[in-house]
Structure 1
Amino acid sequence: MHSLGRRTALVSALLALAVSQAALADDGFSYRFSGFGTLGYVQTNTNDLTFLNPGQEKGATKSGSLLVDSRLGAQVDVNFNDQLSATVQGLAQQDAKGQFEPTLEWAFLRYKPLDSVSVRVGRLGWPAYLVSDYRYVGYANPWLRAPLEVYDLAVLDYFDGGDVTWTHALGPGTVSVQVLAGSADTDLPDTSQQTAKLGVHQLYGGYVTYDIGDFHLRGGASTAHIDYTSGSTAPLFAGLQQAGFGSIADSLEANNKRATFVSLGGTYDAHNILATAEYGALHSSSFLARNNGWYGTLGYHFGSWTPYVTYGGTNKPSEVNSYGVPAFGPLLPLSQGVDALVSHTYQHTTSLGVRWDVYKNIDIKAQLDHVTPSANGGDFADVSPTYDGHSVNVYSAVVDFVF
């Protein structure tokens, strides 16, 4: 698998690569089972910060971790006839409690009233990112992990609801227009004793995908009302209310606040050249404020080997001047707490990696990330009070497989 022409053709089969597939009757009923997984190890060169993936509690420092990138998934596809089918996918990976627990990622019915129209209802993957359809299938992706500068912006993998997709030829390519609606509830890391709760309600979105030759493009936006409750931020908001800064607390709290996420990405993979780039931007009228990220990847295929380089960045502008809690006396802790929520955050990462396709369904990847976070740690967690803003090296290796 050495070009996106071949890789994209395989992607549709990656989640449905059958070890068993049977047509059980003449009426078109059939099923197929498939699976995928990653065994990974990651280590950094510091104990001042903790490296982890979005939605995880436990990460890697100098001591290293097998929990950050390791996962195992399975999927069953059932075709009842040419129009009606069902898909169920389960995924086990580290969750917000730091446990390796299985979750139900997908569980939907698909109905095709026309060849060009597909209607799905149930638990669906949120299609905001370029590789949303196969983000956790490491074998389908060029990098060791999706660049966190973009994929850490909006921590939502799936939603409960429905979508409609219309596909049609457009010029020399094919365009797909997808609209969705639904809601979601998910746990996020907070403290060692409890998780934070993210509620996404009245979720609506629209995405356009265009495939033309060896180019694949996707872009669109989602908007929703969000609720975020956290044991870490609740004392700060309560303190602001008691100190007479109720309007600031109400402004900062993510309590039924509107959030919008916009994304655009594209990939070219042909003639031994791999190039992909993506941009995402989150806007919310809460302490989440404005945040944007981007990355670009360039690689080259040498037989079964694909070395690549990625450069990405994320930036959250400062909102400190928007809030006027005096920084003196008993108000100092409140002022510091507000500043910590809305201060300028950024991060830049240069990644060097290589993929080796060992077998038709197995690859090995190694990646070095040189990360320069802001003084508050960027996308890292558990920032030590002694952290002085130094760069961090992240060393990773994985084995990806599908079956």
Structure 2
Amino acid sequence: MLSKKTLAATLVATIAAASSAHADDSFSWRFSGFGTVGYTATNTNDMLLVNPGQLKGAQEGGTGLVDSRVGGQLDLTFTSSLSATAQAIAMQDAKGRFRPTVEWAFLRYKLSSDTTLRLGRLGWPAYLVSDYRYVGYANPWVRAPLEVYNLAAMDNYEGADISWSHNAGAGYLTLQALGGHASSPLPDTTETTARLKVNQLAGAYVTYEIGNLRLRGGASTGKVTYRSDNLGLLVDSLQMVGFDQYASTINADGARTTFMSLGGNYDDGKLLLTSEYAKLRSASDALGTASGWYGTAGYHFGKWMPYVTWAGYAKRDNSSNYAFPPYPPLMPLAQGVDGLVEGNSQHTASAGVRWDVYKNVAIKLQADHVQPSSHGGTFTDVVPGYDGHAVDVYSAVVDFLF
């Protein structure tokens, strides 16, 4: 795994190499930046609205921590075949802190005019907007629909990919294969071991662009380990009282997990249509089987674009696979298992407007009417006794490029 120190050293070495190559006419560099200043509030204190990987979220009082971020990207070109890219983003992390992390740090080598090899920390291309998910200015919504983008808590991985691009009919086809491993911290205030790890990661994706239409689909698979003190305690307790089979099916230690997705975007400068579907399937019931989808439609009126979104999310209910004897001492154990394996769902109707107020600056207002199940859908920190009432979310952001 590439540690932060290793990544930093790689970047320093890359920049040093760039400086020594400055005399070469083929060398060039480019820096670009992006950011979002946002404010989000809901109409309830029964739960938190968060983006994936965040600890602190929005309630009635509102917060700027959910959507605010700033990032920068450095692109270095050494020769016509060799280049490097580094991207860092400062936003709320799994401990609730606003701090920078290295999202990308990789070398790119063109094996031919059609084929490119990359090595380092790379963006995971599982989603339609993976390449610019955190660049708010490039997206129609305030935030990517959580019904889909909350399914897999992973943005990047360490490894390599190879892509082949070529004209295909009237369009342009890109085939991409990847391999490596990943590690993502899980939101927690105290646990230092709360983390999602993916080993033996492999994936393949296809992107096709024709005119104003862009399509992307594919799948990734790997052996996932989900570590937290709470899950570890539950597994140990099940084994202690003789429920070894239950412990085995819940335990997420090298569980084979697959993520599939398919999406498309059409934008002719007037009409915007975008939709995406994704499904997560794991051998561990702690991760389970879940799917999500959304569809967005918008229309440009000069610098204004109103838009609407309808989205859904569902996690399969596996509680019927677990039966505990009706003994009071086992009730806390049964409740802990149910909290992991019971079904969950959510539907959201959203309406918003984007105003391109200035060059490279856009203001967005968005209202979401969310109907979660009694388990809270994609919300976190759901209070005991929550009855599944609807939640309204109100967001305002300023997206910018520099």
Same fold (TM over 0.5): yes
Q: Distance in 1 between matches of 2:81 and 2:192?
A: 44
- Tell me, yes or no, if the aligned pair for 2:153 and 2:184 is still in contact at 8 Å: no
Q: Please, what is the CA RMSD of the aligned residues? A: 1.2
Letter in 1 for 2:348: T
Task: State the alpha-carbon separation in 2 of the partners of residues 143 and 89 from structure 1.
Answer: 22
For residues 351-400 of structure 1, the C-alpha deviation after alignment (integer angstroms, 9 at most, x for no partner) is 10110001120000010010000101111111111321100000000000
Which digits, 9 at most, give the CA deviation of each residue in 1:46-74, with x for residues without a partner? 00111111000000101111111000101
2: CA distance, partners of 1:231 / 1:93:
25
Q: Partner letter of residue 301 of structure 2?
A: F
Cα gap change, 1:24 to 1:196, in 2 (>3 Å): same
Give the aligned partner of residue 186 of structure 2. 188
Q: Indicate the residue corresponding to 1:298 in structure 2.
A: 297
Return the alpha-carbon distance in structure 2 between the equivalents of residues 168 and 205 of structure 1.
Answer: 20
2:84 paired residue number: 86
* CA deviation string 1:204-260 (max 9, x = no partner): 000000001110000000000011111222222111111100111111010011000
CA distance in 2, matches of 1:125, 1:271: 28
> Offset of 1:327 from its aligned partner?
3.9
Residue 192 of structure 1, CA deviation: 4.5
1:261 — aligned with what? 259
Deviations 1:26-57 (A, max 9, x none): 53101011110000000000001111110000
Q: Which residue of 2 aligns with 1:246?
A: 244
One-letter amino acid of the structure 2 residue matched with residue 112 of structure 1: K
Residue matched to 2:386: 387
Q: C-alpha separation between the residues in 2 aligned to 1:267 and 1:34?
A: 24
Corresponding position of 2:332 = 333
Amino acid across the alignment from 1:252:
I
Q: Deviations over 1:239-287 (max 9, x none)?
A: 1111100111111010011000000000111151000000000000112
Instruction: Look up the equivalent residue of 1:89 and give its one-letter code.
Output: Q
Equivalent residue number for residue 70 of structure 1: 68
The correspondence for 2:140, drawn from 135, 139, 142, is 142
Q: How far apart, in 2, do the equivalents of 1:345 and 1:327 lie?
A: 24
Query: For 1:316-364, what per-residue CA distance to the aligned partner results, in whole angstroms no more than 9, with x for missing partners?
Result: 1110111222343211111111111111100000110110001120000
Kept in 2: contact 1:191–1:232 (CA 8 A) = no
The equivalent residue for 2:153 is 155
* Large movers: runs of 4+ above 6 Å: none
Judge conservation of contact 1:97–1:194 (CA < 8 Å) in 2: no
1:376 maps to 375
Q: Deviations over 1:267-308 (max 9, x none)?
A: 111151000000000000112110000000000000000000
Could you say which residue in structure 2 is the equivalent of 1:113? 111
1:112-166 CA distances to partner (integer Å, 9 max, x unpaired)?
Answer: 0211111000000000000000000000001111000000000100000000000
* In structure 1, distance between residues paired with 2:388 and 2:142: 25
Letter in 2 for 1:324: A
Normalising by the residue count of structure 1, what TM-score does the alignment of the two structures yield? 0.93
Aligned partners of 2:180, 2:334: CA distance in 1, in Å?
37
Contact 1:205 1:222 in 2 (8 A): yes
CA distance in 2, matches of 1:129, 1:312: 15
2:202 partner letter: Y
Percent of pairs with identical residues: 58
Mark the CA change 1:289 to 1:327 in structure 2 (over 3 Å): closer, same or farther.
farther
Structure 1 portions without partners, runs of 5+: 1-22
In 2: Cα distance, 1:102 partner to 1:340 partner: 33
Of 23, 40, 43, the residue aligned with 1:42 is 40
Q: Does the Cα contact within 8 Å between 1:315 and 1:346 map onto a contact in 2? A: yes
Structure 1 counterpart of 2:321: 322
Normalising by structure 2, report the TM-score: 0.93
CA contact (8 A) 1:50 1:383 kept: yes
Give the partner amino acid of 2:134.
Answer: Y
Q: How does 1:210-229 map to 2 (within 5 A)?
A: 210-229=208-227
Q: How far apart are residue 194 of structure 1 and its match?
A: 4.4
d(CA) in 2 for partners of 1:386 and 1:201? 38
Question: For 2:52 and 2:303, how far apart are their aligned partners in 1?
Answer: 30
Alpha-carbon distance between aligned partners in 2 of 1:125 and 1:58, rounded to the nearest angstrom: 24
Q: Residues of 1 paired with 2:325 and 2:297: CA distance?
A: 48
Unmatched 5+ residue regions in structure 2? 1-20
Matching of residue 283 in structure 1 with residue 281 in structure 2: yes
